[in-house]
Chain A
Amino acid sequence: GQNIDQPTEMTATEGAIVQINCTYQTSGFNGLFWYQQHAGEAPTFLSYNVLDGLEEKGRFSSFLSRSKGYSYLLLKELQMKDSASYLCAVKDSNYQLIWGAGTKLIIKP
């Protein structure tokens, strides 16, 4: 079966750095996505990785290792507004998005 694992909840301090991990087992791979979802709202796109390595976009970076079936989302200089759920999703061989359950990130002052 297809499976995506990420921690259920993480807590971090404002101004700090946090890394959210995601491991996946899917039938084929056509890219990995990270989305941010605030409570009661739809997800918004953060990043896309299809090749190994680090993609940096402002305070957010995403890393991919296809051989390990592993990705992480790195958030720097945390702000209170970063409190949200972070969803990892993988496109399989049929280009269908397989979603993780999401990681709820709590930022404390």
Chain B
Amino acid sequence: GAVVSQHPSWVICKSGTSVKIECRSLDFQATTMFWYRQFPKQSLMLMATSNEGSKATYEQGVEKDKFLINHASLTLSTLTVTSAHPEDSSFYICSASPLGTESYEQYFGPGTRLTVT
């Protein structure tokens, strides 16, 4: 089956520093990857849609200069949280759809838990 990995699985950083999270599709190519954020006891919130070779599309209210997304290849997308603050502490999850926008399934990575102190 399709597998998506994320690295790191958890990270603790100091306020003001930047953190990079990697999302990889291990056994399929994904033209589109999605980045979500989930706060405790809340549902998934889509942050941005990442398309290989082009700029990411950010959801309303998500600061594109703070959450930098790079989709350099068909199997790798990265999310960099710049100048992190404690309110950025959350569970960040990526997902990927195989080639073809009509693919019905999104495969989720295991998530990255970010704690900003």
Contact = CB atoms under 8 A, between A and B. Distances in A.
Interface of A: 30-31, 33, 40-45, 48, 50, 87, 91, 95-97, 99-102
B66 to A, nearest CB: 22
Interface stretch (B14-22, B38-46, B81-89): B38-46
A45 B104 CA distance: 11
Contacts of B43: 87, 99-102
A8 to B, nearest CB: 10
15 contacts: A30-B102, A41-B110, A42-B109, A42-B110, A42-B111, A43-B44, A43-B93, A44-B108, A48-B105, A87-B43, A91-B104, A96-B46, A99-B43, A99-B44, A102-B43
B104 A31 contact: yes
Interface residues of B, number: 19
Contacts of B102: 30, 95
Interface string B29-43: 000001000000011
Contacts of A41: 110-111
B108 A43 contact: yes
A33 B44 CA distance: 14
Contacts of B113: 40
Residue from A33, A97, A100 with most neighbouring chain B CB atoms (10 Å) = A97
A42 B111 CA distance: 6
Interface string B96-108: 0000011011111
Query: B-side binding surface: helix, strand, loop or mixed?
Result: loop
A50 B103 CA distance: 12
Contacts of B34: 97
Contacts of B42: 101
A96 B46 CA distance: 10
A97 B102 CA distance: 12
Contacts of A30: 102
A64 B105 CA distance: 17
Nearest to A31: B104
A41 B34 CA distance: 17
A97 B91 CA distance: 19
